[in-house]
Structures are given as C-alpha cells and as structure tokens.
Chain A
Amino acid sequence: MTVASTRLVEVRRNVMKKNDLLARALRERMQAAGVFVVSLVSSPGAGKTTFLERTLTELGRTHRVAALVGDLATDNDRDRLARSGAPVRQITTGTLCHLEAEMIENALEGWDLHALDFLFIENVGNLVCPASWDLGEEQRIVLLSVTEGEDKPLKYPTIFNTADVAVITKIDLAQACEFDRVSAEANMHAARPGLPIFDVSAKTGQGMSVWLEWLTAPRPGST
C-alpha cells in the first residue's frame, strides 16, 4: 500500500502571466510596425464612443487610424465609429466584462499593421474588470464624464492607478452638473499622482485640439 504524500512546491508565478506575455509580444509587434496603440476605459455611458469617433475623424485627416471596439452584445459602436471612415473591427465579448490580449491578437488577424499610425482599442464599459488585463497598448486612457461624480477615482482606484492619461468628457455640461473640477483632479491624483488630465467635449470640440496635439507629439523612439 502506498501512502499519499503531500508536498509544498514553490511557484511564484503571476496569475496574469499568459496575458502579460501575449501583451508584451503585441506591444513589440506594434512598436516594430510603428503603430501607436491607445486603449480607452471608462464606465458605461462616459462617452468613449463619441470621443473616439471624433478623435478618429479629426486625426484621420492627417494620420492612418483604426479602431477595435469591445462590446458585450452589439455591433452598434462599430457602426458609429465606422462613420469616421476609419477601419473598425468589433470584438463581441459575450458575457465577458473586459478585453484580453488574446482577443486583440485575434481581432488583428489579416490587418496590415504597417499601414497604420494609430490603433485605438475601446474596452467594454467597466471600471473594474479591464484593470487587470494588459492589452499591449502604449497608453491607457481612462475617461470620466462630468455627469458621473468627482469621487469615482476614489471608488475605483485600480483603474485610475493603471491608467497613463485621464480624459474628463462632456466638459460642456460641467456647469449644469455642478462638476467640481478641483476635487475630481485631486481624487484622480490620489489614485495616480501626476496623472495627466485633458478636459474635452466631443460634442462642441472643446479641448480636442490639445488632446490631438498630445497624441501626435513626437515621442522618444518613434519615427
């Protein structure tokens, strides 16, 4: 008779290892092809699609732009974004509340990356789940609309902490919503000190030129 023996084996492996490796490979591929990849995260209804549609339209006049858009069930956002004239592909996640690096890799199949300057990835509207998944993006943009309340960065610190840039959307409604810009900024900086913040209205165009200037600014290592 053999007696089962239990042994403790050290592992020390990041739970996200597989996704992180895929994301790293994607990032290297994008850099080699000269594509600047920007992902957008926010709660549902913060204005990601409207903001992205305007960005694609305006940036598309001078650069080669494309977008991937994640959604639980519909193609609506793809159709909206496609009005900009940019190539857009939908990633329908089913019940999944976030995008993963593997989905990005699959969605890119057949696309000539060398024919692109910018690729935007619109994540599923959610301020919790997308935080853990690196998508191989160069910059992660978190959007906060003035209608949401200034304390969102305190309620969802992880997503703000993992973001590289914040965009305050619907700024044209700030006054009507009694939006407290100072407290919003303080809360964002509590989650991520030094986080650059852009104020925009995709409806009126306010702040769009500053945002586009930042996007197209020469960066070290870029050609």
Chain B
Amino acid sequence: MHELSIALSIVEGVTEEAGQHGGVVVVKAVHLRLGRLSGVVGEALLFSYGLACEGTVLQGSELRIEEVEGNEMLIVAMELES
C-alpha cells in the first residue's frame, strides 16, 4: 500500500507548483496521468489522496485520473482558484 506515499508526493508537488502562482491560491482539482504499469492502483490512490490533502491548499480538491499505457505518473495540470 504505497499509494499514500504517492498521494503525499502529489500534494507536495502541487503545493510547490501552486505556490509559484502568487496570492492566496486554492487548488480545486489535479489532473494526473497514471500508467497502467506504474504499480499504483487508482482507487487506492483516490482514497489516500483525500487524506493527504487535509490541512493543505489542496484540501477538498478533486483528483482526476487519466489512465494511460506505460508506467508514467505525471501531474499534467491543476485547477486553481484565487
């Protein structure tokens, strides 16, 4: 069950990226590309994501997973509200 570690990495990465967009920023959604061979289970990741977001600018945000071939795990985009 390493999805929590992956979720924490997503939250850390997005927090850093969102911080570069100035002002008070709230992240509403994160778009993730997830490879079928990444070894990460989408459902488990969604569950962990909710926990990982608590107390961060991502709290209450939605994780939108696009399943793709290969093993990539890419944060494609984020939806910000300021």
Residues on A lying within 8 angstroms of B by beta carbon are 4-19, 96-98, 100, 128-129, 131-132, 157-159, 161-162
Q: Are the C-beta atoms of B38 and A132 separated by less than 8 Å?
A: yes
B46 part of interface (Cβ distance < 8 Å): no
Q: Given the interface contacts A9-B21, A157-B37, does A132 sit within 8 Å of B32 by beta carbon?
A: no
B74 part of interface (Cβ distance < 8 Å): yes
Contact with B1, one of A11, A97, A159 (Cβ below 8 angstroms): A97
Q: How far is the CB of A92 from chain B (nearest CB, A)?
A: 16
Q: How far is the CB of B18 from chain A (nearest CB, A)?
A: 8
A-B contact pairs, 8 of them (CB 8 A): A5-B82, A6-B28, A8-B77, A10-B76, A12-B75, A15-B9, A100-B5, A128-B2
Q: How far is the CB of A8 from chain B (nearest CB, A)?
A: 5
Q: Given the interface contacts A6-B81, A96-B5, does A11 sit within 8 Å of B39 by beta carbon?
A: no
Q: Are the C-beta atoms of A12 and B21 separated by less than 8 Å?
A: no
* CA distance in complex: A131, B32 (Å): 19
A129 cross-chain contacts in B, Cβ below 8 A: 1-2, 5, 39
Q: Given the interface contacts A6-B80, A158-B39, does A16 sit within 8 Å of B71 by beta carbon?
A: no
* CA distance in complex: A158, B76 (Å): 22
| Interface residue count on the B side (C-beta < 8 Å) | 29
Residues on B lying within 8 angstroms of A by beta carbon are 1-2, 5-6, 9-10, 12-14, 17, 21, 28, 32, 37-40, 71-82
Q: Given the interface contacts A9-B21, A15-B75, A129-B2, does A158 sit within 8 Å of B37 by beta carbon?
A: yes
Q: Are the C-beta atoms of A7 and B75 separated by less than 8 Å?
A: no
* CA distance in complex: A18, B74 (Å): 13
Q: Are the C-beta atoms of A16 and B73 separated by less than 8 Å?
A: yes
Q: Are the C-beta atoms of B12 and A18 separated by less than 8 Å?
A: yes
Q: Are the C-beta atoms of A131 and B6 separated by less than 8 Å?
A: no
* CA distance in complex: A12, B73 (Å): 10
* CA distance in complex: A96, B13 (Å): 20
